[in-house]
């Protein structure tokens, strides 16, 4: 069974969604982040993906008190990203209750440091966040591209026991046009020891079903939920039928 991981992006303590990572293309929703985690837990979801967009701008987690409240919801684990650029930042989110810490830019620009964190905090907790545009890895809120591919990153950290990678296709993120199925199927086939999470473009339950048919293991769903294209009841029924 593929694991459905709902996404919550946070600015100013509220749920938002961006299109292609652009802060100027922001939609703010009325939903309270903690309430959303509770609603997902009621659907049988076991993991929620949270991006601290304030923290990403500040280069240090900015919503730790909110993380503590989200992590206190029974039955759900929180994976947290945004601003994890130092050991102190990683420790702060772990101490605040995050079960998983997502590291993106540092993994690309200071790979030795991320390798150290894999060893220090454990491969069961550290998640490689790889954002890709036209085959190249993008960093710093997708503003810069580096001369690396997703394969370069994965190969760099396999010797350190990397087991979890969230790969976001920037061109699809927030666009509700379907994910890059071929990319994820290839990555999962090439690196079976790593769980790749499909991120960007999920627009319907059909996209999730297709991902499972391709033997993909995890999928992040964000805007499709907030825009009503995927109902929480559909997620609940899917999780129940496959558990």
Q: Which residues are known to be catalytic?
A: 9, 131
- Pairing verdict, β 136-139 and 126-133: antiparallel
- Pairing verdict, β 14-19 and 3-11: antiparallel
Label residue 207 exposed, middle or buried (CB < 10 Å: 0-12, 13-18, 19+): buried
Whole-number Å distance between alpha carbons of 235 and 207: 13
Helices of type H across the chain: 33-42, 53-58, 64-71, 87-95, 105-109, 111-121, 150-157, 181-190, 205-213, 223-226, 232-241
Whole-number Å distance between alpha carbons of 137 and 174: 18
Whole-number Å distance between alpha carbons of 51 and 112: 24
Work out the angle at residue 98's Cα, subtended by the Cα atoms of residues 156 and 200, and round it to the nearest 5 degrees: 60
If one counts every other C-beta atom within 10 angstroms of the C-beta of residue 74, the result is: 6
Cβ atoms of 200 and 168 closer than 8 Å: yes
φ, ψ of residue 102 to 5 degrees: the values are: -100, 125
């Amino acid at each position: 069974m593929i694991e459905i991981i709902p996404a919550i992006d946070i600015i100013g303590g509220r749920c938002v969604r961006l299109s292609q990572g652009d802060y100027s293309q922001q939609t703010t929703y009325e939903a309270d982040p903690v309430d959303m985690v509770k609603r997902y837990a009621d659907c049988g979801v076991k993991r929620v993906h949270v991006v601290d967009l304030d923290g990403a701008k500040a280069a240090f987690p900015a919503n730790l008190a909110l993380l503590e409240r989200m992590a206190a919801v029974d039955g759900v684990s929180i994976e947290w990203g945004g601003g994890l650029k130092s050991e102190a930042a990683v420790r702060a989110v772990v101490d605040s209750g995050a079960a998983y810490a997502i590291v993106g830019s540092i993994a690309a620009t200071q790979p030795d440091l991320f390798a150290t964190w894999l060893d220090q905090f454990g491969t069961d907790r550290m998640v490689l966040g790889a954002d890709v545009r036209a085959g190249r890895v993008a960093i710093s809120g997708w503003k810069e591209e580096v001369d690396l591919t997703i394969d370069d990153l994965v190969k760099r950290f396999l010797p350190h026991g990397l087991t979890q990678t969230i790969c976001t296709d920037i061109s699809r993120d927030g666009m509700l046009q379907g994910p890059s199925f071929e990319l994820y199927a290839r990555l999962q086939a090439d690196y079976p020891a790593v769980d790749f999470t499909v991120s960007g473009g999920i627009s319907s339950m059909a996209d999730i079903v297709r991902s499972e048919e391709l033997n993909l293991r995890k999928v992040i769903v964000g805007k499709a939920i907030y825009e009503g294209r995927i109902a929480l009841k559909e997620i609940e029924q899917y999780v129940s039928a496959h558990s």
